[in-house]
């Protein structure tokens, strides 16, 4: 009977040692998991901060694009003035050419001047047209940039929501791990 009791005690002791070793391993794993979760939480916080910085920059880009559009509108107004001046100058040169023709031989020199003024008016109108085309292309690009920035803002907002949800999950897991560690 003593042998049976001795054998049972030895088996119980061995089983208890195995349980203690397993418990130590579980405790170590939980501790490691808790540390890893804390690191993940820190990294997630950094990502959140970076995403918010990106959103701020995208907002600033949108504001800058709006300011560019204001300046483009001012340039377009100036181009309209130049166009109008070129048109009026062209009409004046035509009137001067008519007056030169009416004056006959005495108006010949004036006719040359009228033709040169007409040429300048034509070149001014052409340059204004070229500038207007450049400004229109710049406006299209600025609007494309604004749309890209708006898309970035939406992407950053979605990213922040996802990160926040991930951080909530990490926090829940971290709390569970701490409770498990305390329970062991």
For the chain, how big is the Rg over CA atoms in Å? 41
Give CA angle at 63 (57, 65), nearest 5°. Answer: 105
- pLDDT bucket at 181, cuts 50 / 70 / 90: confident
User: What burial letters (b/e) apply to 32-60, b meaning 16+ CB within 10 Å?
Assistant: ebbeebeebbeebeebbeebeebbeebee
- At 1 the pLDDT is 78
Q: Are 146 and 66 in contact (CB under 8 A)?
A: yes
Q: What is the mean pLDDT of the chain?
A: 90
Give the mean pLDDT of 132-152: 92
175 — pLDDT class (breaks 50, 70, 90):
confident
- For 83-101, write each residue's pLDDT tens digit: 999 999 999 999 999 999 9
- Higher pLDDT among residues 1 and 103, named by residue: 103
Region for 181 from its dihedrals, namely left if φ exceeds 0, alpha if ψ lies in -120 to 50, beta otherwise: alpha
> Does pTM top 0.75 for this prediction?
no
In the prediction, which pLDDT does 40 show?
87
pLDDT of residue 184: 67
Q: Which domain holds residue 130?
A: 2-183
Give the rounded percent of residues in the chain with a pLDDT score beyond 70: 99
pLDDT in tens, 28-46: 888 888 888 888 888 888 8
Query: Please, which pLDDT band fits residue 135 given cuts at 50, 70 and 90?
Result: very high
State how far the alpha carbon of 91 is from the alpha carbons of 80, 109, 121, 162, in Å: 17, 19, 9, 66
Is residue 178 scored above 90 in pLDDT?
no
Where residue 82 sits, what CATH number does that domain have? 1.10.287.950
Q: How many domains does the chain have?
A: 1
Answer whether residue 140 shows pLDDT above 90: yes
């Amino acid at each position: 009977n003593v042998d049976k009791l001795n054998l049972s005690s030895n088996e119980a002791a061995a089983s208890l040692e195995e349980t203690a070793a397993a418990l130590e391993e579980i405790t170590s794993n939980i501790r490691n998991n808790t540390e890893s979760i804390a690191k993940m939480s820190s990294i997630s916080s950094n990502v959140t901060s970076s995403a918010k910085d990106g959103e701020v920059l995208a907002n600033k880009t949108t504001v800058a694009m709006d300011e560019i559009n204001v300046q483009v509108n001012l340039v377009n107004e100036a181009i309209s003035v130049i166009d109008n001046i070129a048109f009026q100058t062209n009409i004046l040169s035509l009137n001067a050419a008519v007056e030169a023709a009416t004056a006959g031989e005495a108006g010949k020199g004036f006719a040359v001047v009228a033709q040169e003024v007409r040429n300048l008016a034509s070149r001014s109108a052409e340059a204004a047209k070229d500038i207007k085309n450049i400004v229109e292309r710049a406006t299209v690009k600025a609007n494309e940039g604004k749309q890209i920035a708006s898309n970035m803002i939406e992407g950053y907002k979605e990213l922040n929501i996802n990160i926040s949800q991930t951080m909530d999950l990490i926090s829940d897991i971290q709390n569970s791990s701490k409770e498990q560690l305390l329970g062991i």
